[in-house]
């Protein structure tokens, strides 16, 4: 076997000298190097911001969406949306393991795994798309992928269906960061709280704030807002468009008595919600941008422009222990498990 770099730089075709994620094109030949794992892929979980952009660009036409996904992978050697820059993750079976693939997670050929690194840096070759629905960001494929030695993954648990595990592991970094950031008595706002990552964040936030804190959800969809109310996953729910900054600002201020939130979590999959997140957060507070639709420029310069001294955290999808924490939410909450099974387990 050929020797490879721990971080996958040997797969970068252009521009040379960079890492796989920012690279424009990767070598996606499926003959593994000595420090790689070969995966037989069954399902891709496309990042929400990316899937929304693909669906909109294709007018919701499933065949056009298939063609667009195949074209991206053909051009880049990986599934990295050229508009959003994001990817997603996958599940599949381990097909081969290089002799020098040294990873802290024990794994063997035949194990079913979920990758915990983005498809935007994962060499991927798709033979065919077996099933795609415009309403679901999970795409069934016949494909192969490469995981580098530095790549994170989880062996799929036996007590949770594969596609349910894939769905929640795709956003595991969000509730894990909520667990780190939110403390007892905090006022928390979760923008886009009715979606997949939002529901998990709401559960963890409610758990952390205790009886003296508040969890405020801002949700565009009345249906998703009703879901949060019915499941008792927030103390207050606002139905509003998060791109309408002042409307959301006034509504949140009314709930918080004008003080703003201690922590704001942004989970939306559309652009231009940065200033809403910033404006509703109190001075010295914290905004966690989990959304891949976030513009760093808008957030950084916008906070400066309104004189807000707050901590802005970019949504790193990895946090130590994030996979187990998120899977445990599914184990603890029968309501969330039932909801996600309806959405993802066919």
- Confidence category of residue 215, pLDDT binned at 50, 70, 90: very high
Distances (CA, A) of 164 to 133, 302, 326, 327: 16, 37, 11, 9
Q: 311 with 290: CB under 8 angstroms?
A: no
- Looking at residue 337, what is its pLDDT? 97
For the chain, the average pLDDT equals 95
**Structural domains of the chain, with CATH:** 9-169 (3.90.180), 173-320+333-339 (3.40.50.720)
- Confidence category of residue 140, pLDDT binned at 50, 70, 90: very high
Average pLDDT on 229-249 reads 98
Peptide bond into 15 cis (omega under 30): yes
pTM of the entire predicted model:
0.88
H helix runs in 93-161, sequence order: none
Query: Residues 273, 279, 280, CA angle at the centre, nearest 5°?
Result: 95
- Looking at residue 102, what is its pLDDT? 82
103 pLDDT more than 90: no
- Confidence category of residue 10, pLDDT binned at 50, 70, 90: very high
| CA-based nearest residue to 73, from 118, 28, 132, 29 | 28
| CA-based nearest residue to 117, from 84, 83, 82, 78 | 78
Give percent of the chain above pLDDT 70: 99
- Confidence category of residue 293, pLDDT binned at 50, 70, 90: confident
316 pLDDT more than 90: no
- As a whole number of angstroms, the distance between CA 195 and CA 171 comes to 11
Measured distance between the N- and C-terminal CA atoms of the chain, rounded to whole angstroms: 40
For the stretch 259-276, pLDDT in tens is 999 999 999 988 999 999
């Amino acid at each position: 076997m050929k020797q490879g770099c721990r971080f996958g730089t040997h797969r970068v075709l252009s521009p040379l000298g960079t890492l796989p994620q920012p690279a424009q094109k990767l070598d996606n030949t499926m003959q593994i190097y000595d420090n790689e794992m070969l995966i037989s892929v069954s399902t891709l979980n496309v990042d929400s911001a990316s899937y929304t952009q693909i669906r909109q660009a294709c007018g919701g036409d499933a065949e056009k969406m298939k063609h667009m996904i195949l074209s991206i992978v053909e051009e880049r050697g990986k599934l990295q949306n050229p508009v959003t820059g994001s990817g997603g993750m996958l599940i599949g079976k381990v097909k081969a393991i290089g002799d020098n693939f040294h990873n802290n997670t024990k794994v063997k050929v035949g194990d079913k795994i979920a990758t915990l690194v983005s498809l935007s840096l994962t060499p991927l070759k798709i033979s065919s798309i077996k099933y795609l629905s415009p309403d679901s960001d999970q795409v069934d494929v016949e494909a192969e992928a490469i995981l580098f030695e530095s790549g994170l993954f989880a062996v799929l648990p036996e007590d949770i269906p594969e596609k349910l595990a894939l769905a929640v592991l795709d956003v595991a970094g969000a509730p894990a960061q909520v667990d780190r950031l939110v403390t007892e008595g905090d006022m928390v706002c979760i923008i886009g709280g009715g979606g997949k990552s939002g529901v998990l964040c709401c559960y963890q936030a409610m758990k952390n704030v205790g009886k003296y804190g508040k969890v405020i959800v801002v949700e565009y969809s009345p249906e998703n807002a009703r879901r949060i109310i019915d499941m008792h996953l927030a103390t207050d729910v606002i139905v509003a468009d998060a791109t309408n900054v002042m409307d959301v600002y006034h509504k949140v201020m009314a709930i918080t008595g004008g003080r703003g939130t201690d922590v704001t979590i942004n989970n939306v999959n559309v652009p231009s919600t940065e200033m809403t997140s910033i404006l509703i957060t109190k001075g010295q507070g914290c905004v966690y941008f989990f959304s891949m639709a976030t513009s760093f420029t808008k957030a950084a310069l916008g906070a400066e422009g309104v004189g807000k001294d707050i901590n802005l955290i970019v949504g790193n999808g990895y946090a130590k222990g994030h996979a187990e924490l998120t899977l445990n939410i599914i184990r603890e909450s029968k309501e969330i498990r039932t909801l996600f099974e309806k959405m993802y387990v066919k």
